[in-house]
A and B are shown apart, each in its own frame.
Chain A
Amino acid sequence: MNAATQPKFAIKTPRGLSPRIAWLRDYYFQGTARAWTNEATAWTTGTPWDVVYDEITYYIVPETYAFLQTFRSALRQAARPVPLPEGFWGWSLPERRAWFIREVMVNHVPQELLPGDLLAGGRFNLQASRCWTKAETAARDRLIYGRKGARAVMKAFHDHGYGNSGATSGHLIPDYARVLDIGWRGIHADLAETYDRLTERDRMGARGAQLRAMMTAAGMPRDLAARYAALCTRRAAGEADPARRDELAQMAANLERVPWEPPRTFWEAVQALWLTHMLVMSDENYPGPGVSFGRLDQSLHPFWRRSLDEGMDREFGKEILRCLWVHCNTVYDMMIRVGGNQGITAGYGQLFNLSGMGPGGRDMTNDLTYALLEVIDEMTPILEPKPNVRLHRNSPEALLDRVVDMIASSQGAPFLLNFDERSMAGMLREAKEAGVTHLIHEGNVHDYASVGCLENTMVGNDRSGTVDNNVNLVKAVELALTGGRDLLPFVDPMTGKTERIRQAGPRTGDATAFATWDAFWEAYCAQTRYILARCAETYEASEAIRARFSPTPYLSCLVKGCAGQGRDVTQGGAELSFTTMEGVTFATTVDSLLAIKHLVYDRKACTMAELIRALKDNWAGHEILQAKAKFRAPKYGRDDDEADRMAARVMDFWTAETWKFRTRSTGRRFRPGMLSWNYWVGDGFIVAATADGRPRGQFLSNAICPSNGADIHGPTANVNSVGKALGGKAPAGRGDWEAYLCNLPNGASHTMTFSPSLLRDPEHRRKFRAFLKGYIENGGTALQINLIDADMLREAQKHPRDYRHLLVRVTGYNAYFTSIGRELQDEIIARESHARY
């Protein structure tokens, strides 16, 4: 190969793959060139008013706002009609929808099998009719459209810099353990028994309808498995290669049993898991995001152990897992022909946990933990499913070694790290705040697992809406400076029209007249209450619509609480039913408050009026004041106790306020978290200049991370600040979990980027391992480690073709570096060094 065409830096490539997996993997990466894809197919009841695209689930994706109407009409036009049974329109909505999804998946979507694949279950991405009557469609449209409709409310929230909010699908860990334990037959039997116990009156009502819908849905995995069993049998008959013929025959046998009956072998268990999982995505018409597996190395371990004991080759067990990996990645085919990089553009977040604490602080690492890590190592770079390794004080050295070696040999950690002590402290705080200590307590909190990227929840009985509300905390600082009005008028980017500035938040008074810092702080608190209330109100609009019009009866079978109450999971049926307020722009908020205190009150470097003028002018003509705000004011992220006390004060206040809200339509309590996905990038162009010296157009801070470049005292100082912001440790060991305090049950995304030289030899890898142990003591709930140097990224920017597989991780979601926007690329490059500004 000519040196000029060779990439300058080595990118991790998969190694040691069998011909089977190498073929499946290479085929997958052919993208649109593939003959087979899992592109969503659309299906309609055929009525003129039918809707197959539910826009509400995309309210938290501002990039889609401009296309909502296009998707609605285009997908309706592309949809193929499905003949309906007699009496269909007389059924309840959940029954119509359960029947329709089952009919489409079993009798209309083709069953297909790729060469060599050991798991059945191909197409699952759907856009299926919402099965609304004409009256239901009209009623829902009235709630969506119009000046006061959900769409306008949501757009106004976003346009004015508050963030975004909407009732979103996925983002939970279904009760897959139950399928592995009693099979769908057991789940169905339980539903039937519950139904039989209903009074005649209840059977006639909503509870009866919901349970009938769930029973219909519970039959879907059985019927689909039968189809795939028949396909495997046919393929086996026509197969010339005897080895493959045996595999196909065994697959047919597996599918004749699972997931209806509980699995006995590892192969059956993974097959049951995959079919059950993919149908969640069919049911929600939502490909993957946040539909997570929980503690896979725990739930699958009994089957792994048993099959190994019965003679399964360990390598073959891993081969089954590698097939699962290939299947999980086909979520990206959803809109494969839309977008530049064959749809492979972002992380979908089918997460699973590895290792972690068990009862009594015992470590739960087992052979399957290592087997799964081996599979990840061999398959990387590939996006799904995403591992999240749980570490704690008793994590074994061998696991830490493996983790650090994998970080060193990839371009960054091919997994997230979750930290049990701090995470469990957060979950126990939730139990106390929400009065659910019977469901989360010291005896079971170690069973928590992570959803999506890093959002901690309980497993199988918990929907915590972990991406539903993303609120820009810094908006409260803006409103405190203006007495409750936007700093700048909103200009519609489509029409160019300027809106008049209106009173929005409470009238907290003229900030230029505040004599003391405390007066400003009071105004800030009042405005924080307002933005949280407004977010909850915005959420209510879409939550109420979803609860009324978009049941997910199949998913409801997999969430404890729904059957017993006869309530869909979208109606708050889960035992643990929360919606999470994800605080975005935390460091920007803290640093802005620090700058106001420093510049206006402590140092009197300017008056409040001068500062407000500078912000209105986007700092133009105020460069000296801007430099003071950026460089002389204290900052969060430096292990500076004064600044970190401000961070803790902000955290205490906004989280305490968040617990006060509850949805009216579904009774779900709000709980606090800090995920912030990629919003801190896009909203940087919406949110006005901030007092920390940031002009409009520059990025806001990401999740719990210090502001970009603020962490000038190195990684340990950064980590210590994060731990203090979350609550630190309690004196005398009386925290939420042992000494640990944690304000965020959801957890907080923390991304750090290190120079690869820090891991260059065994001695330095030992030091890095020790750094992780220090993180367990002092840090936050979750850490994403990137290990990339700026030169390599610049090279990748210049020659994107040579770096197509270069993975970077932003806030815990994975993306191919060359497929993300130039601005975010530049941001990641800037973040690379921990040097001064």
Chain B
Amino acid sequence: MSLNDDPAGLPAESLILNIQRMSTEDGPGIRTTVFFKGCGLHCLWCHNPESLSARPQMQWVETRCIGCKTCLAVCPEGALSDDGAGIRILRDRCTACGACSRACPALALERLGEPWRLDRLLDEVEKDRAYFEASGGGVTVSGGEPALQAPFVAAFLTGCRQRGPHTALDTCGFCAAEALERLLPATDLVLYDLKEIDPERHRQFTGQSNERIFANLLLIRDRMRAQERPARLWLRTPIIPRMTARLDNIAGLGRFVAENLGDAVERWELCAFNNLCRDKYRRLDMPWACREDALMTAGEMEAFANAARRAGVAADRVAWTGAVRPDEPAGDPA
């Protein structure tokens, strides 16, 4: 906490990874999605690896670099080197102070995670109000896990609601119940991730058991049944080869949803594994467990959607999304 912070416990700034405008995939209508940095889960497939750490990180984007080596001269920690193949960031030395990214003429060095003040952030999302109003869209907080910065995010969502826009919280559910309870009163829609029905496998894939996640989901259901916020609930399940992409998993999640949530769930999206994040891992010098995995096929995704429906979830509420590879033609030797 800095001196500028509000005595009531509201931090003056929050670390934000990205603000994506005209987002059409994070809730109803046209939205501005604010990505907060830091997450309590470490899913092996995570497609936003830059959002895992709650601290700023540096990356070097080779396609932007003009090779001027300005960065090597300005780094106060001696954390950069040029090994001939490009700029290397020595992660154990780098403090992500941003000296290199401020000096880089071509924005090839980039600091991931910048502090934003609440008023500035509210002004920023205000810019697309006309599109929100025309589309029934609004603001989505995502991450990372926004609930880990609950005081700031709650103030932000409250500010949005006061100014008008619809609010959505995109959460993995792994957070303290108190944090979630701070956010829900200012949240119109929750986008909730359900990944794995088996607690042990969940721990294996994400680093944490799923018990708290299910408990928090029931908390949301209870709020909805009590006619409190949120008004709407969408579920999302990543379909990851070798991991969550199992019929027993989807059937198990489906039974949980059908038995416990019923009509509270407006939509359940099965999100096909996506590999566009491969370069992100490389740039962050992070290994990626899914590096070699292929995309799902449309046939497979359809089968998972049907499994969810067979488990008792209303058919028209289940949908699958995402890029797929072509189904392999049966018996074609080529």
Contact = CB atoms under 8 A, between A and B. Distances in A.
Given A713-B21, A764-B24, A631 B105 contact: yes
A715 interface: yes
Interface string B57-98: 000000010101010000000000000000000000000000
A524 to B, nearest CB: 25
B64 A770 contact: no
Interface in A192-216: none
B135 A770 contact: yes
B8 interface: no
Contacts of A713: 21
B70 A624 contact: yes
B127 A623 contact: no
Interface stretch (A21-29, A646-654, A771-779): A771-779
Nearest to A754: B22
Contact of A624 (B22, B64, B68, B133): B68
A554 B81 CA distance: 76
Interface in B199-253: none
B68 A623 contact: yes
Contact of B21 (A627, A717, A837): A717
B303 interface: no
Most A CB atoms within 10 A — which of B22, B30, B66?
Answer: B22
Contacts of A108: none
Interface string B12-54: 0000000011101000011000000000000000000000000
A713 B32 CA distance: 11
Q: Which of A630, A631, A766 has the most CB of B within 10 A?
A: A631
Contacts, number: 73
A767 B106 CA distance: 34
A716 interface: yes
Given A770-B135, A837-B64, A627 B105 contact: yes
B131 interface: yes
Contacts of A766: 135
B22 A715 contact: yes
A639 interface: yes
Contacts of B68: 623-624, 627
A474 to B, nearest CB: 22
Main secondary structure of the interface of B (DSSP, over half): loop
A714 interface: yes
Interface residues of B, number: 22
B137 interface: yes
A764 B28 CA distance: 10
B90 to A, nearest CB: 24
B64 A774 contact: no
Contacts of A534: none
A758 B107 CA distance: 28
A632 B107 contact: yes
Given A713-B21, A716-B21, A771 B106 contact: no
Contact of B130 (A715, A764, A774): A774
B105 A628 contact: yes
B130 A778 contact: yes
Given A716-B127, A717-B21, A774 B135 contact: yes
Contacts of A715: 22
A720 interface: yes
Given A632-B105, A770-B134, A717 B127 contact: yes
Nearest to B68: A624
Given A627-B66, A715-B22, A837-B64, A770 B131 contact: yes
A773 B134 contact: yes
B105 A767 contact: no
Nearest to B135: A770
Contact of B22 (A625, A627, A716): A716
Nearest to B106: A627
A777 B137 CA distance: 16
B130 A777 contact: yes
A716 B128 contact: yes
Contacts of A625: 105
B131 A623 contact: no
Contact of B20 (A632, A714, A774, A837): A714
Nearest to B65: A627
Interface in A754-802: 758, 764, 766-767, 770-771, 773-774, 777-778
Q: Which of B20, B64, B105, B127 has the most CB atoms of chain A within a 10 A radius of its CB?
A: B105
Interface string A630-652: 11100000010000000000000
A687 to B, nearest CB: 23
A774 B131 contact: yes
Most A CB contacts (10 A, CB to CB) among B20, B30, B134 go to B134
Contact of A623 (B21, B29, B66, B134): B66
Contacts of A764: 24
B154 to A, nearest CB: 26
Contact of B131 (A624, A771, A836, A837): A771
22 contacts: A623-B68, A624-B68, A625-B105, A632-B105, A632-B107, A715-B22, A716-B30, A720-B128, A758-B24, A766-B135, A767-B137, A770-B131, A771-B30, A771-B135, A773-B130, A773-B135, A774-B30, A774-B128, A774-B131, A774-B133, A774-B134, A777-B130
Interface of A: 623-625, 627-628, 630-632, 639, 713-717, 720, 758, 764, 766-767, 770-771, 773-774, 777-778, 836-837
Given A717-B127, A770-B134, A777-B134, 14 more contacts: A623-B66, A624-B66, A624-B70, A632-B105, A714-B20, A714-B22, A715-B22, A770-B136, A771-B134, A773-B130, A773-B131, A774-B30, A774-B130, A837-B64
Which 10 A-B residue pairings sit nearest by Cβ, starting from the closest?
Answer: A770-B135, A773-B134, A774-B131, A627-B105, A777-B130, A770-B134, A627-B106, A774-B130, A628-B105, A714-B22
